[in-house]
Amino acid sequence: MIAASVFDLPSYVQHSYLGLLGEQLEVSLGATLGGLLVSLPIGQACARWRLLYPPVLGLVTVAYSIPSLALFVFLIDYTGITDTTLFIALALYSLCILVPGVVDGIRTVPPEVKLAADAMGYGPARRYFQVELPIAAPTIMAAVRVATVSSISLMSIGAVIGNLGGFGQLFTTGLRSFNLSLVWLGLFSLVVLALLCDVLLRLAQRLMTPWADRRSARA
Amino acid sequence: MISFERVTKRYPDGTVAVNELSFTAPDGAITVLVGPSGCGKTTSLRMVNRLIEPTEGRIAIDGTDVRARPAAELRRSIGYVIQHAGLFPHRTIVDNITTVPRLLGTDRRTARNRAHELMELVGLDPALAKRYPYQLSGGQQQRVGVARALAADPPVLLMDEPFSAVDPIVRKGLQEEFLRIQGEVAKTILFVTHDIDEAIKLGDKIAVLREGGVLAQFASPDRLLAEPADDFVEQFLGRDRGIRRLTFYPSAGLSLQEGPVVAADTPAPSARDAALSAGTPWLLIVDADRRPLGWANPAALPDQGPIGNARLIGYGHAFVPGSDSLRAALDAAVLSPTGWAVGTDGNGQVLGVISQESIGSAIRAAHAQSSTERERADEKAAAADASPDSGTAAEADEPSAADSAGSEAPPSDEAPLEQAR
């Protein structure tokens, strides 16, 4: 019985399961949030100056293609074997999903809506925060969901370089001690966590943008 | 009052969108900018609220240059309605309408109360207040657009093809509602359209622009139809401008004949004899309520029985003297197989009939009156031009000239327009 063996854990893991969960959530969600904060201005700039987008897209794609181990080795020189290293790497990877998401989102704002906002007397900052960003939100949130799930699973590789990587540590520990149930537990936890985050983000988006459901269906 | 003073917009690539445009849109009236695509009408409109800055010249609202205050502040004092409404999809209808008052710092409750009043004014069910724009039809969205533009009670309204994106039936309804609303709010409106019919229907003044942003003519709709300034304007107006002009002449002055109107229960032989001796070519048969049934040819009436049993010819449609224009009267006569139009009161009861010929002479008389009016107005304008404050004086004088003329003699340019609406 998998379920029985999964919950028949060595005491050191039982005690630290919540700790792993905390680390997992903190680093993967934090990295996505960090990536989003960087992507918003970059995406806005790419949407405004069209010539900027192709090179930026190339850059974030190249960044995504850097093998994670190589990136860790490079970052360890500066930030050591810490969650910060993991955080920076994951945030960098998330840009490849989030920057196009932000650009597509800003582009969904109909030109006549922008024109109307200008004509009503919105200043540039107000127009951005009160009109463009809310209208772009559904598309951006879709990208955020993908980036979150991707960060959660990508993070396990952190276990290879040290006591990092959240649930990923269950894989390394399980392999080292030939305890397959630990590997199963890690896998199960990651999948459930990813699904749960996706569902919660989807729910949050529904609540934030009640106007978006039918509009996208009709478009 | 919105005045354009030698306004030019030249783009860096040398394209001239608007060329030395000068005209004055009078207070409380609808001024329509009309012309083919590429004539700079939208550019001209957007220069008023500085979405586009002119290269040369000056635009002033009530004498104050639009560049005298920051653009955002200026725009909050000018209502703006565009083709696809441009509603904010992420805001409910009531929040869309309260946009400008909220930007101006009005508290939420006051703004919402005002929004509900406006929804009523533009003919929207208050139950729609909590809906989102995607849940409304195109026509309803456009009404919200108008309500949003009126929310902060701006004295000036700019409208850029607001009714072009809806189907013809909805458009007609929106146009009529728009005139009704304007009757209540009396804003100074600058209205852009490519549709000359819409311009003539809505405009108190019409500015016809040609390609390259040159003003071809600036006149009242009646005058535009009567005296197009050149071939371009004439072509733009189309081949039926004579007929369309009749919209501005009231049908109140037509003298209807009651003689040919006969009740259906009249014995056929006596009606025939009376008609033949009076030389009446056609008899209009009416029922007991004096509603029209159809035409009968006196010569073909049967020898016995009531006249209602005779074979009747359809009368097309009737017109209502007073509330309908000469155009409606003429149309009724042209449509009728007998060449006679039926005039009824508001309840559909027959007042009398009139022939195409009589309507024709009424049209000639109306034309004569109207040209005398125009000459008189021209003299006034010329006199006003001589005074130092020329442009404004001419505008201000015109309505009063019309009023004084209306009392003793024929109504002027403007008066029949109101009636025909």
Q: A-chain residues within 8 Å CB-CB of B102?
A: none
Confidence class for position B56, pLDDT limits 50, 70, 90: very high
What pLDDT shows up at residue B395?
44
B86 touches chain A (CB under 8 A): yes
> Helices A11-48 and A53-65: crossing angle, nearest 10°?
160
Closest approach of B213 to chain A, Cα-based (Å):
22
| Pairing label, strands B30-34, B205-210 | parallel
Would you say residue B407 has pLDDT above 70? Answer: no
According to the model, what pLDDT value does residue B388 have?
52
B253: phi then psi, degrees, rounded to nearest 5: -80, -10
Higher pLDDT, B352 or B381: B352
pLDDT digits (tens, 9 = 90+) for B12-39: 998 999 999 999 999 999 999 999 988 9
pLDDT, residue B102, reads 93
- The pLDDT score that the predictor gives to residue B387 is 60
pLDDT at B400 over 50: no
Is the Cβ pair B88, A117 closer than 8 Å?
yes
Helix axes A83-107, A11-48, angle to 10 degrees: 40
Run of H or E residues at B319 = strand B318-319
CB B115 within 8 Å of CB B91: no
Whether the pLDDT of residue B204 is over 90: the answer is yes
Instruction: Examine the pLDDT at A1 and tell me if it is beyond 70.
Output: no
Strand ordering across the sheet containing B64-65: B16-25, B2-10, B56-61, B64-65
Express the helix, strand and coil content of chain A in percent, nearest 5 each: 85, 0, 15
Q: Do A120 and B89 touch (CB under 8 A)?
A: no
Q: How confident is the model at residue B135 (pLDDT cuts 50, 70, 90)?
A: very high
pLDDT at B408 over 50: no
Q: Which residue of chain A is at minimal alpha-carbon distance from B79?
A: A120
The stretch B136-140 carries a mean pLDDT of 91
Three-state DSSP at B6 gives strand
Q: How far is A57 from chain B (nearest CA, A)?
A: 29
pLDDT band at B415 (very low <50, low <70, confident <90, very high): very low
- B76: contact with A, CB 8 A cutoff: yes
Q: How many residues does chain B have?
A: 421
Q: Are B89 and A135 within 8 A, CB to CB?
A: yes
pLDDT at B214 over 60: yes
pLDDT in tens, A156-196: 887 777 777 778 888 888 888 888 888 888 888 889 999 99
Q: What is the ipTM of this complex?
A: 0.79
Q: What is the homologous superfamily of the domain A2-216 according to CATH?
A: MetI-like (1.10.3720.10)
Q: What percentage of chain A exceeds 90 in pLDDT? A: 47
| Average pLDDT, rounded, for chain A | 85
Q: What is the mean pLDDT of chain B?
A: 87
What does the alpha-carbon distance between residue B390 and residue A201 come to, in Å, rounded to a whole number? 66
- Residue B301 · residue B358 · CB < 8 Å: no
- Provide the CA B257 distance to its chain's centre, in angstroms: 31
Per the CB < 8 Å rule, is B75 touching A211?
A: no
d(CA B259, CA B279): 11
pLDDT tens across A6-59, in order? Answer: 445 555 555 578 878 888 888 889 999 999 999 999 999 999 899 999 999 999
pLDDT of residue A2: 42
Amino acid B396: pLDDT:
43
Residue B332 predicted with pLDDT over 80:
yes
Cα atoms found within 13 Å of the Cα of residue A13, Cβ hemisphere only: 21
User: B162-169 contacts: CB < 8 A, separation 24 or more?
Assistant: B162/B81, B162/B82, B162/B83, B162/B191, B163/B193, B163/B198, B164/B83, B164/B193, B164/B194, B164/B195, B165/B83, B165/B84, B165/B138, B166/B138, B166/B139, B166/B142, B167/B138
Residue B25 and residue B245: Cα distance in Å, rounded?
22
Give, in order, the Cα–Cα distances in Å from A52 to each of A48, A59, A110, A112, B9.
Answer: 9, 11, 21, 24, 30
Give the per-residue pLDDT at A12: 55
Q: Say yes or no for a CB contact (<8 Å) between B76 and A121.
A: yes
For the residues B322-344, what does the mean pLDDT come to? 92
- Higher pLDDT: B50 or A154? It is B50
One-letter amino acid for residue B353 of the chain? V
Tell me the pairing of strands B2-10 and B188-193: unpaired
**Sequence letter at residue B344:** T
pTM above 0.90, yes or no: no
Residue B343: the pLDDT is 93
